[in-house]
Chains A and B, each alone.
Chain A
Amino acid sequence: MKFNDINDMTTQVRRDIVRMVHGAQSGHPGGSLGCTEIVAALYFNTMNIKEERNSDGLLNFSRAGIGEDVFFLSNGHISPLFYSILSRRGYFPVSELATFRKINSRLQGHPATHEHLPGVRVASGSLGQGLSVACGVAKSKKLKGDNSFVYVLMGDGEQQEGQIWEAVQFAAHYELDNLIAIVDWNKQQIDGPTEKVMSNKDLTLKYQAFGWAAMLLEKGNDLQEVIRTFDEAKKLAGSGRPIVILAKTEMGYGIDYMMGTHKWHGAAPNDEQLQKALAQLPETLGDY
C-alpha cells in the first residue's frame, strides 16, 4: 500500500477505535490510538502476508501462519486497534466492528481464538504472555526452515511482568533473530506515569544486557519513521540476536484531549466527547 494510503488508513482506524469504544461504552482507547502507526505499518507495509482470498473477498486466515509473517498482540487491551486493522486488512467484514464487546460477538473485550475470529492466533489480555508465545512461533519457524518473521507488540507497563524477562532470555539463548518485538513506550499505565508506578529504568540497556539488538524509535507516531525502523530491523535477521524496537509513542495520539494523560487508558468517551474526537479525524475510507 502506498504511503499516503497507509496514512489515510491510520486516520480511519482512529475513527474506528473511538467509535468502537464509544459504542461499547468500555475499552481502551489510549494505547490503541498511540500504537496506530505501528500496527498499521506492520499490516499494510512491513509484514509479508499471504493474499489468497475466499469467495467473499476476505483473506484466507491460516492460524499456523507457515510461510508468512505473523503478529501477536501481547497487550491485548488495545484490541480496538487490532480489530480495526484486521478488518480493514480484510480478515473479516468491517461491519463486524460494531459488535465490539457486545454479547455473542467474535470481538471479545480482549482478543480470543475461542470465537474463531480470523487474524487472532492466541488469546491475550492477561499481560506478559505474548512474547513467550511469539518465541514459540519463532523457534518453530527456525525448526521448519521458514524464513518469515514473527512480530509481537507489548506495553511498557507490561515490562513489569516477570514472564517477559523469562522470554527475553529464551529468545537470546536460542538466537531468535526472526523475532521482532515492539515495546509501546508511552510511559503511562492505569495507575499513572510508569516512572511513578514502577519504573522501567533504561529499557534499551536492559534488552541489550540480555543479548538483544535494541533499536530506539524516537517518533513512534511518525508513520515514515515507523516504516523506516521496521525496514532497518528486518536487516538484522541473521545477526543471531532477537530484535526489540523501543517505540516512544503518545497515549491517545490523534485526539487532543486524550493525549498526554493516562486517564484515557481504559475510559470511553461520551456522545459529546465522541463528536469532538471525530471532528479531529476526517473520514478517509468510510466508517463501518
Chain B
Amino acid sequence: MKKYTYTEKKDTRSGFGAGMAELGKGNPNVVALCADLVASLKLDAFIKDNPDRFIQCGIAEANMIGVAAGMAVTGFIPYATTFANFGSGRVYDQIRQSVAYSGTNVKICVSHAGLTLGEDGATHQILEDIAMMRAMPGMTVINTCDYNQTKAATIAIANYNGPVYLRFGRPVVPVFTHPNQTFEIGKAWMVNEGTDVTIIATGHLVWEAIQAGELLAAAGIDAEIINIHPIKPLDETAILQSVAKTGCVVTAEEHQLNGGLGDAVCQLLSCNLPSPVEMIGVNNSFGESGTPAQLMEKYGLNAAAIVQAVQQAMKRKALIENLV
C-alpha cells in the first residue's frame, strides 16, 4: 500500500477560495456570484482583489443562476456559488433551461455538500445533488476530495467551455494530494495499485478509502484505490481496466446510493463487465444534526464500513470463482 501522509487539515471550500483568488489574478473573464454566503464559500480574497468582478445576488438563488447565464452569454466565465442544497435542487429548472439546455458556460460551485455539513441538519445536507446533476444532459459533475484537488479543479474548469457542477464541503480534512497536480476532466486518479479489489471513492470518502486500504493491507488484502473526482464524464477506461484485474468493487461516496457514483459504476459494469459491487453511501434516508465524524460513523461512511464492504465483495467474488 502506497503511503499517504498529511501535515495539515484544511477544508475543501478553502481550496475553492484559493483557486478563485488565483483565477482572479490570471483570468479577467472570471466573475464570481454568491447568494449571501461569501464567508462560507471563502471568496474574500477574490472579492478584495476584484471588487467589480464580484456580484452579490442576495438570498435569491434562482435569479443568480439566470444572471450567471446572461453573463456567460456575453463572454464572462461566471462562477455561481452557494451551498450545494441551494445550488442544485432549489434551482434545478433554472440550471436546466438557462444553463445546460442553453449551453451557457456557467460554473456552479457549491460547498457544504453531504452529511459533513454537520449540525445544521438534514434541511441543508443535500445527498441527492450528484444524482440530479448526473441526469442533466451536458452537465459535467465534479466532487473533490481535499484542499489541493479542489483548488486545481476550480482553476481547471475555467479552461473548459461548458456547464460544470463542482461540489465540495465544509469540514477540515487531511490535505494529501499533490499541491501542483494537473486536473483533467474525465480522468480518474489512481491512488493505489492493487490486485484483490477495486475501491472507487469520491469526495471526503477518498481519505477514508486510503485508511481502509491500510487496514486491508495489514490483513493481507491488496486493494486498488481509484479516486473518481469527475463523476461525469466518468473515466470508464480506468474503472474497466481495474475491475478486469481485481474482479470486485466497492464504491464510496457521501451521497445517496440512488443516482450517485456507485450507480454510475454499476451502470458501466453491468453493461460491460458484470462484477460484484458493494456500495457505501446513504441508503434512502435524510441526514440529521451531529458532528461530521458522528454522522459519518452513524451512516456508515468511513474506513471501517469500507473494510466490511470489501470483505463482502471479496466473498461474493470467491463464490463466483468457485462456481466457475
Contact = CB atoms under 8 A, between A and B. Distances in A.
Nearest to B74: A140
A163 B63 contact: yes
Contacts of A174: 55
A140 B69 CA distance: 11
A136 B66 contact: yes
Contacts of A169: 58, 60
Contact of B62 (A113, A122, A136, A166): A166
Interface string A112-133: 1110000001111110111111
B102 A136 contact: no
B98 A122 contact: yes
B102 A143 contact: no
Given A64-B73, A137-B73, A170-B57, A132 B67 contact: yes
B272 to A, nearest CB: 30
A174 to B, nearest CB: 8
Interface string A48-77: 000000000000000111100000000000
B299 interface: no
A137 B58 contact: no
Contacts of A66: 74-75
Contacts of B73: 63-65, 121-122, 133, 136-137, 140
A166 B63 contact: yes
A123 B73 CA distance: 11
Nearest to A173: B58
Nearest to B57: A170
B189 interface: no
A37 B98 CA distance: 27
B67 A133 contact: yes
Interface in B36-61: 52-53, 55, 57-58, 60
Nearest to A133: B70
Contacts of B62: 128-129, 132, 162-163, 166
A135 interface: yes
Interface string A245-274: 000000000000000000000000000000
B66 A140 contact: no
A174 B52 CA distance: 12
B60 A170 contact: yes
B103 interface: yes
Contact of B74 (A64, A124, A125, A126): A64
Nearest to B31: A143
Contacts of B102: 112-114, 122-123
A134 B66 CA distance: 8
Contact of A65 (B31, B69, B74, B78): B74
Contacts of B97: 123-126, 129
Nearest to B65: A132
Nearest to B72: A136
Nearest to B78: A136
Contacts of A133: 66-67, 69-70, 73, 98
Contacts of B94: 129, 132, 163
Interface string B11-32: 0000000000000000000010
Given A122-B69, A144-B74, A163-B66, A139 B55 contact: yes
Given A114-B103, A123-B97, A143-B52, A170 B58 contact: yes
A244 interface: no
B71 A170 contact: no
Given A112-B101, A143-B52, A167-B66, A136 B60 contact: no
Given A125-B97, A169-B58, A131 B71 contact: no
B76 interface: yes
B201 interface: no
Interface string B68-89: 1111111110100000000000
Interface string A155-169: 000000011001101
A125 B104 CA distance: 16
B297 interface: no
A129 B74 contact: no
A135 B63 contact: yes
B161 to A, nearest CB: 13
B63 A132 contact: yes
A131 B64 CA distance: 11
A141 interface: yes
A242 to B, nearest CB: 13
B57 A134 contact: no
A173 B53 CA distance: 16
A144 to B, nearest CB: 7
Contacts of B119: none
Nearest to A170: B63
B93 interface: yes
A94 B68 CA distance: 33
B71 A139 contact: yes
Contacts of A131: 66
B302 to A, nearest CB: 40
* Most chain A beta-carbon contacts within 10 A, residue among B66, B78, B96: B66
Interface in B208-244: none
A144 B71 CA distance: 11
B67 A135 contact: yes
Given A122-B102, A163-B62, 12 more contacts: A64-B73, A113-B102, A114-B103, A121-B73, A126-B97, A133-B73, A135-B66, A135-B70, A136-B66, A140-B73, A143-B31, A166-B58
The 10 closest A-B pairs by CB, nearest first: A136-B70, A132-B66, A166-B63, A166-B60, A136-B67, A140-B74, A133-B70, A137-B70, A163-B62, A136-B71
